Chain A
Amino acid sequence: MSTPRLQLHHLSHQWATTPASSPLFTLDDLQLNSGDSLFMCGPSGCGKSTLLNIITGLLPPTQGEVLINGQSLYGLKPGARDRLRAQCMGVITQSLNLLPYLTVAENLRLMQTFSAQKADSEWQRHLLQTLNLTAQAHQPVEQLSIGQQQRAAIARALIHKPSLIIADEPTTALDDDNKNAFMSLLLNEMQNFDTALLMVSHDTRLQPHFSRTLDLRQYQSAEADYVS
């Protein structure tokens, strides 16, 4: 088996304002391999967004380690961390996943620029075709519907073939039909290359799409536990 895409070791985080005795969460050991899809849920304020910021390299944790492809994320200098995120991660958020004043194609190009990749027009054509966005490729993002925008977000998250896809409530803005279409597209596309998916949502109806589930509520106390 190849190196795990994501590993968390003894990870805990607490805000400076909270008493030292109560960390927001503590994750002793979490591992995502290529092909894994993890559904992470939990009520608001349980630290989902904080955890995602830590995993994406934007927020150094109070304690513990994050490994991306075996590489310690916080062992890197901030600039190298930004480059690693650009190269190895594809991030999809609730909304505004693309610069509204650029076209879809330009947004994809921007992502490739940051990840220091050459434009792969074959892969881009395939992605846009699969996501049914070929006609919208050269439209400014702000002219797209919400559903089209979130599909374009998948394209942007996959264009540089990342080893880890991180999705933060990507379906909140979508209606049920679009929601299911979005999920199957995302899961189908990630099977095409060596990647793992970590998705945060409080919509438990999406849970069956995933191979594993992590309820962050269970890790809010100081005790560590395993992923079910």
Chain B
Amino acid sequence: MLVKIAVRSLLQRRLAALLIIAAISLSLMALLISRGAGEELRRSFSSSVSGTDLIVAARAQPTQIMLYSVFRLGTPPQAMSAERWQQISQLPQVKWSFPLVLGDSVKGFSVIGTNDDYFRYFRYGDKHPLQSSTTEALQFGQPTAAVLGAEAARVLGYKIGDSLSLSHGMHEHSFAEHKELPFIVSAILKPTGTPVDRSVHVPLATLEALHNSEWLHTVTRGQLNKEHQHEEHEHEEHQHNESHDDDHALTLAFSDLPEPSSISALFVGLKSRALTFQAQASINAAHQEPLSAVIPGAALTEFWQLLGNAERLLQFLSGLMLITGLLGSVAMLQVSVAFRQREISLLRLTGASPLYIFLLLESEVLLLTLSAWVVALLGSGALQTLAAPWIASHYGLQLSSQWWPADSLWLIGGSLLLSLLAGLVPALSAYRKAFRL
């Protein structure tokens, strides 16, 4: 009977009640989504690289090395020499390795200079290998081949066979373009939900050559100049005649390119995981050149602790929003108590105790919060389900939709308790009114 009266009483004030439910459910949704997105972000971050035992780069903070080598954020402050790369890749513990050269971009998408081992050994998520979205093989068949991440290809509108030129630096509107040597899209990767989607992969040796002005001068005076002049013409033509491109490309062979002198980072797979600390120590200790060998898992954990602060701030703000919503519901009920003097008198006259009046008001607060939870759970579930494809394509983060987020029982219990506390205000004033008739 008590709950029935509470429900009917709220229905009587349904507009105000709906507004309050909207306010509380919005703050609950913010809370759920910030928690959910935080967890998903963490998961997505930790799945951006897997199977790599060490990432070696010039000495720097592990998080900084992770940022540029895995997340393509920032540029490497220093390079490591090609000699050390060769030495490390030939260490007895090392099973495989591939180099990365970073620093250039294509219209805002970062360019990765690497070799075919990248496509062979790079793993993400649950040890997934990279896959080609078409039948084209994942390898640099020629020095000017470019393999595009799914997102980069989609946004820039490149298809296989299109040509693209790199810009120096990471700015989207960089003026320093490497127009001398355009690349041809040779393959497009399947979406991975990792920063790979936003990367343009080119052969390491070609990228090195582009930055070697001496070499460029001698070579571009030759046939490359010709290719540059024909760029527009070629772009239209290759759709009809792919072999035509090959004629141009064949003029430059891997053997024509200079040997790379330095790289940005080296991804290393060891023969056994047990060797990780041993290998890390020997690389860190070697005194020829200051290097850092980073264990990705450990660095990600450290990195996440940094981001955790931002997550906590977000949760704190959603907590504040929840309190705002609850205060709103308390304000509404408090005002309603003033208007319900007669209703309270009536209940008292029919024999209701002041405690009954108190419980009635508390039930109303509880009902408001419970309805807000239903709305919030449905809303955040629907929102995450609907937004997941968009977030995956725009931020490279794969969110799995959650209708019933983990730990939400604890959250629901806590917020109900909080609403009972907040409900004390109108409930107690109704209780007092119940004595003064």
Q: When the two chains form their complex, are residues A56 and B343 in contact, meaning their CB atoms are under 8 A apart? A: no
Residues of A within 8 A of B347 (CB): 99
A-B contact pairs, 5 of them (CB 8 A): A85-B351, A96-B346, A99-B347, A111-B350, A113-B1
Residues of A within 8 A of B354 (CB): 78
Residues of B within 8 A of A95 (CB): 342
User: How many pairs of A and B residues are in contact by the CB < 8 Å rule?
Assistant: 59
**B interface footprint on A155-191 (CB within 8 Å = 1, 0 otherwise):** 0100000000000000000000000000000000000
Known contacts A53-B437, A102-B5; A83 and B342 CB within 8 A of each other: no
Q: When the two chains form their complex, are residues A87 and B351 in contact, meaning their CB atoms are under 8 A apart? A: yes
B7-15, B273-281, B298-306 - the one binding chain A: B7-15
Tally A residues with Cβ within 8 Å of B: 29
Q: Please list the 10 inter-chain residue pairs (A to B) with the smallest Cβ-Cβ separation, ordered nearest first.
A: A86-B351, A114-B351, A101-B8, A91-B349, A101-B12, A82-B353, A96-B342, A58-B437, A85-B351, A114-B350
Chain B min CB distance to A102 (Å): 6
Q: When the two chains form their complex, are residues B437 and A83 in contact, meaning their CB atoms are under 8 A apart? A: no
Say if the beta carbon of B348 comes within 8 Å of chain A: yes
Q: When the two chains form their complex, are residues B351 and A83 in contact, meaning their CB atoms are under 8 A apart? A: yes
Known contacts A53-B437, A101-B9; A58 and B348 CB within 8 A of each other: yes
Chain A residue, CB-CB nearest to B341: A96
Q: When the two chains form their complex, are residues A82 and B352 in contact, meaning their CB atoms are under 8 A apart? A: yes
Known contacts A58-B437, A59-B437; A99 and B351 CB within 8 A of each other: no
Say if the beta carbon of A110 comes within 8 Å of chain B: yes
A79–B354 Cα distance when bound, in Å, is: 9
Chain B min CB distance to A168 (Å): 9
Residues of B within 8 A of A82 (CB): 348, 351-353
Chain A residue, CB-CB nearest to B10: A101
User: Which secondary structure dominates where chain B touches chain A?
Assistant: helix
Known contacts A53-B437, A59-B437; A99 and B5 CB within 8 A of each other: yes
Chain A min CB distance to B206 (Å): 78
A79–B435 Cα distance when bound, in Å, is: 12
Residues of B within 8 A of A83 (CB): 351
Residues of A within 8 A of B12 (CB): 100-101
Chain B residue, CB-CB nearest to A107: B350
Q: When the two chains form their complex, are residues A93 and B5 in contact, meaning their CB atoms are under 8 A apart? A: no
Q: Name the one of B8, B11, B352, B437 contacting A114, with C-beta atoms under 8 angstroms.
A: B352
A95–B343 Cα distance when bound, in Å, is: 10
Residues of B within 8 A of A91 (CB): 349-350
Q: When the two chains form their complex, are residues A56 and B5 in contact, meaning their CB atoms are under 8 A apart? A: no
Residues of A within 8 A of B8 (CB): 99, 101-102
Residues of B within 8 A of A97 (CB): 346
Q: Name the one of B1, B346, B353 contacting A98, with C-beta atoms under 8 angstroms.
A: B346
**A interface footprint on B333-363 (CB within 8 Å = 1, 0 otherwise):** 0000000001101111111111000000000
Q: When the two chains form their complex, are residues B346 and A86 in contact, meaning their CB atoms are under 8 A apart? A: no
Say if the beta carbon of A115 comes within 8 Å of chain B: yes
Q: When the two chains form their complex, are residues B353 and A93 in contact, meaning their CB atoms are under 8 A apart? A: no
**A interface footprint on B375-412 (CB within 8 Å = 1, 0 otherwise):** 00000000000000000000000000000000000000
Q: When the two chains form their complex, are residues A156 and B350 in contact, meaning their CB atoms are under 8 A apart? A: yes
Which residues of chain A from 100 to 126 have any CB-CB distance to chain B below 8 Å in the complex? 100-102, 106, 109-111, 113-115
Q: When the two chains form their complex, are residues A110 and B343 in contact, meaning their CB atoms are under 8 A apart? A: no
Residues of B within 8 A of A111 (CB): 350-351
A106–B343 Cα distance when bound, in Å, is: 15
Q: When the two chains form their complex, are residues B437 and A78 in contact, meaning their CB atoms are under 8 A apart? A: no
Chain B residue, CB-CB nearest to A156: B350
A114–B345 Cα distance when bound, in Å, is: 14
A111–B9 Cα distance when bound, in Å, is: 17
A96–B342 Cα distance when bound, in Å, is: 7
A98–B435 Cα distance when bound, in Å, is: 19
Q: When the two chains form their complex, are residues B1 and A99 in contact, meaning their CB atoms are under 8 A apart? A: no
A114–B4 Cα distance when bound, in Å, is: 14
Residues of B within 8 A of A58 (CB): 348-349, 435, 437
Chain A residue, CB-CB nearest to B351: A86
Q: When the two chains form their complex, are residues B346 and A85 in contact, meaning their CB atoms are under 8 A apart? A: no
Q: When the two chains form their complex, are residues A115 and B351 in contact, meaning their CB atoms are under 8 A apart? A: yes
A95–B345 Cα distance when bound, in Å, is: 11
**A interface footprint on B1-43 (CB within 8 Å = 1, 0 otherwise):** 1001100110110000000000000000000000000000000
A100–B342 Cα distance when bound, in Å, is: 11
A57–B17 Cα distance when bound, in Å, is: 34
Residues of B within 8 A of A85 (CB): 349, 351
Residues of A within 8 A of B350 (CB): 86, 91, 110-111, 114, 156
A83–B350 Cα distance when bound, in Å, is: 9
Residues of B within 8 A of A87 (CB): 351
A53–B348 Cα distance when bound, in Å, is: 11
**B interface footprint on A52-89 (CB within 8 Å = 1, 0 otherwise):** 01001011000000000000000000110011011100
Q: Name the one of A56, A100, A113 contacting B349, with C-beta atoms under 8 angstroms.
A: A56
Chain B min CB distance to A88 (Å): 10
Which residues of chain A from 137 to 158 have any CB-CB distance to chain B below 8 Å in the complex? 156
Q: Name the one of A78, A100, A109 contacting B353, with C-beta atoms under 8 angstroms.
A: A78
Residues of A within 8 A of B351 (CB): 82-83, 85-87, 111, 114-115
Chain B min CB distance to A99 (Å): 7
